Amino acid sequence: RIKIISLTITEGGYNLDKKTREFDFSNEDILYDLTFPKRPGTVFGYIAAGLRKRISADAGPVTILCCDNLPHNGDVCRGAFLSFFEKADTQLYHWAKAHISFPNSMVDRITPATLADDVQRLSAMNGQEDLAPVYCEDFIQWVIEDDFRAGRPAWERAGVEFTEDVSKYEAMKLGFVNSTHQMLSFPGMLAGYRKVDEAASDERIAAYLRQYMDLDVAPYLSPP
């Protein structure tokens, strides 16, 4: 019945060598999963074990949807999993190449780390004892390449944007969000601010950022 396996395991979860960006087969946990495939301990071994059952049950294709904050995250995910499958199981590797899609996606929503003080503060605000609250900004954007081998829910009804190529959305985010955060960090720090919203409310910094986006970002982007 499973049609989509979604992942949010952080950039480090894809087990890539920091220099070569190749899959790291020296990792002890990976070596364990290759040696003992029926008792997996990593995401790669765990999904491989499930896919072997899927193959034996002739359950059909599936989509692995990476939601981590990585450029071309589906491509990164594909490379990592296929590298593991190729080493672990030749049959699984060839089946996966033919039956699994890895669409790229982009998620944009600022979600700060939840600290101990935040747990108490948010529980008091909500009137509930929530031991693992998550809070975030109002803005949200989720863009996914529409490549689902076994179908998908109508997520567009909840605001998801589907596209053939997510790269232009990634460039927009990097240009207008990530780079402007860096641009305001130094003057904001020197002006005595410690939070982005405080720095951006300073008209001097706001004017500087608007000029930067108008002159140095917008002319070089191709909107989706």
Task: Write the pLDDT tens digit of every residue in 154-173.
Answer: 999 999 999 999 999 999 99
Q: What is the pLDDT of residue 112?
A: 86
On the question of pLDDT at 111 being above 90, the answer is no
Residue 59: both structure tokens together: 């359950």
Strand-pair category, 141-145 with 105-108: antiparallel
Q: What is the pLDDT of residue 2?
A: 95
Q: What is the pLDDT of residue 109?
A: 86
Q: What is the pLDDT of residue 133?
A: 93
- The whole model's pTM is what? 0.85
The stretches of the chain forming alpha helices (DSSP H) are: 28-35, 43-56, 73-88, 90-99, 116-126, 167-173, 179-190, 196-200, 203-212
Rounded CA-CA distance 64/61 in Å is 10
Note the residue count of the chain: 224
Q: What is the pLDDT of residue 84?
A: 98
Q: Which of 59-63, 73-77, 196-200 has the lowest mean pLDDT?
A: 196-200
pLDDT above 90: percentage of residues in the chain: 89
Q: What is the pLDDT of residue 224?
A: 86
The stretches of 26-137 forming alpha helices (DSSP H) are: 28-35, 43-56, 73-88, 90-99, 116-126
On the question of pLDDT at 54 being above 90, the answer is yes
